[in-house]
Amino acid sequence: MGGLIRALGARLLQAALVAMAVGIACFLMVRLLPGDMAYRVAAGRYGMDHVNTAAAEAVRAELGLDRPWWQLLSAWLGDLARFDLGVSLVSGDRVVEELSVYLGHTLLLSVVALLLSALVGPPLGVLLAMRPGSAADRTGMAVGAVLRAVPAFVIGLVLMMVFAVQLGWLPAAGVGGWREVVLPATTLAIGLAAVSSRVARDAMVAVAHSPYLAFARTKGLPEGAVIRRHALRNAAVPVTAYLGVQLVTLVEGVVIVETLFAWPGIGHALVHAVVARDVPMVQGTALAMGLIFVALNAAVDLTCLAIDPRRRPPS
């Protein structure tokens, strides 16, 4: 129980740090960005055909953009503490509302990608570990190394060109049904699976040479039980721990893949917001992604604790 509290406490602190850092960085952004914020907002709202000084002045008055900086900073941080993420400078809708829509899409994509990679990666790694050093194993490792090196957007591009355009089997972009999810989720899953299969393979190979496994065999247990009861659980520890590292890849990959496939998720929104310098949206999306990252890490911590009794503090 103590370990649980400690782990969660550390993650909560991390979440608070993330929120503070993002909040202050975004406030600095508002002050330091070149160009006039009011014009930028007006351009986003009314479109390039209608943006002019009159529109910009109206926006300036509406948003109170010319208050002194310390007033703005305290208002900013106060809003952040109350989870009032403000209003998007571009669309005028509340950031929290927009985020909830985008969040659903991003979670869908992430979950499908993680599921796909979990279904393919570790089992493949375990299979290869059965015959270490064989031709299949070496080819698998080589393919994995190449896939790890190719960036997610290149993989996605190739998949899009082949499956959406050449063969026309899958739609190239957008949201709608299960077909739209396939390409972006597969793109992410390939990168994740390449890593997790390698880790699983190495972990299984290490476990296969371990003394307790040999002991289990000498005890007379059938091979299947040996693997199931002893090998898998021990191998699962580094694989799950690696999940933490993979989450970084996932979050970064989501940003790129969502933009490539026009998937209306948080990553896509973040990139749009950065390009449009829509600071409340940048803050909101960066915060959301950061907090998701911390939350997923916490989940990984808990899973590790659950699987590996050695991590729990002595009760």
Partner 1 sequence: MKRRTLLASLAAAPGVLPGTARAQAPVRTLRVVTPWEIGGLDPARSGYVFQRMQIAETLVGTDAAGALVPLLARAWRLDADRLAWRFALRAGATFHDGTPVTAEAVAAALVRARAQPGPLAQAPVEAITAEAGEVVVRTRQPFLSLPAFLAHSGAIVLAPASYGEGGAVRAIIGSGPYRLTDLLAPQRLDAERFAGWWGPAPAIERVSYLAVGRGETRAAMAEGGQAEIVTTLAPETVDRLRRNARVEVVTVPIPRTRALKLNANLPFFADVRVRRAVALALDRDGMARALLRSPEGAANQFFPPALPDWYIADLPPPRRDLAAAQRLLDEAGWRAGPDGIRARDGRAFRVTLRTFTDRPELPVLATAIQGQLREAGIDLQVAIVNSGEIPAGHTDGTLEMALYARNLALVPDPLGTVLQDFGAQGGEWGAMGWSSPELLAAAARMGEEADPAARRALAQRIARILHDEMPVIPVAWYDYPVAFSRRTAGGSVDPLEISYRIAGMRWAD
Partner 2 sequence: MRRVGMRGTRVIGLALLGAVLGFGLVVPLLTGDPMRQDLSATLLPPGAPGHLLGTDHLGRSMLARLAHATRLSLGLAAATALCAAVPGLLLGLLAAWRRGWVERVLVGLADGVMALPGLLLVLIFAAFAPGDFLPLYLGLSLAFWVEYFRLTRSVAGSVFARPQAEAARLLGLGPWHLLRHHLLPELGPMLLTLLGFSAAAAVTALSALAFVGIGLRPPTPEWGSMMTELLPYYEEAPWHVLMPGLLLAASVLGLQLAAGGRGT
Q: Where do contacts with partner 1 occur on this chain (CB under 8 A)?
A: 35-36, 39-56, 58, 90-93, 97-98, 100-101, 103-105, 107-108, 111, 164-165, 168, 171-179, 262, 264, 275-277
* Short-list 250, 304, 256, CA closest to 107: 250
Q: Does 12 bind partner 2 (CB under 8 A)?
A: no
Q: Does 152 bind partner 2 (CB under 8 A)?
A: yes
* Footprint (CB under 8 A) of partner 2, residues 172-201: 195, 198-199
Which CB atom, from 294 or from 300, has the smaller least distance to partner 2? 294
Q: How many residues bind to partner 2 according to rule CB under 8 A? A: 53
Please tell me what DSSP assigns to residue 86.
-
Residue 268 contacts residue 275 (beta carbons within 8 Å): no
Which CB atom, from 127 or from 147, has the smaller least distance to partner 2? 147
Shortest Å distance, C-beta 314 to partner 1: 41
Q: Is the torsion defined by CA of 130, 135, 139, 142 positive or negative?
A: positive
Shortest Å distance, C-beta 288 to partner 2: 10
Residue from 4, 29, 58, 237 in contact with partner 2 (CB under 8 A): 29
Spatial CB neighbours of 99, under 8 Å, sequence gap ≥ 6: 85, 266, 269, 284, 285, 288
Crossing angle of helices 232-260/178-208, nearest 10°? Answer: 150
Only one residue has tokens 């599921």, namely: 115
* Footprint (CB under 8 A) of partner 2, residues 249-268: 251-252, 255-256, 259-260
Question: Residue type for 88, please?
Answer: S
Which CB atom, from 230 or from 268, has the smaller least distance to partner 1? 268
Q: How far is CA 108 from CA 54, 78, 182, 254, 256, in A?
A: 42, 32, 11, 11, 16
How buried is residue 267: exposed, middle or buried, by Cβ count under 10 Å (0-12/13-18/19+)?
A: buried
What backbone phi and psi angles, to 5 degrees, belong to 87? -125, 135
Which CB atom, from 10 or from 173, has the smaller least distance to partner 1? 173
Neighbours of 180 (CB within 10 A): 19
Which CB atom, from 40 or from 201, has the smaller least distance to partner 1? 40
**What mask of x and - would describe binding to partner 2 in positions 272 to 301, judged by CB under 8 A?**
-xxx-x-x--x---x--xx--xx-------
Please give the Cα distance from 2 to 55 (Å, whole number): 58
The footprint of partner 2 (CB under 8 A) covers 14-15, 17-18, 21-22, 25-26, 28-29, 32-34, 133, 144-146, 148-154, 157-158, 161, 165, 195, 198-199, 242, 247-248, 251-252, 255-256, 259-260, 270-271, 273-275, 277, 279, 282, 286, 289-290, 293-294
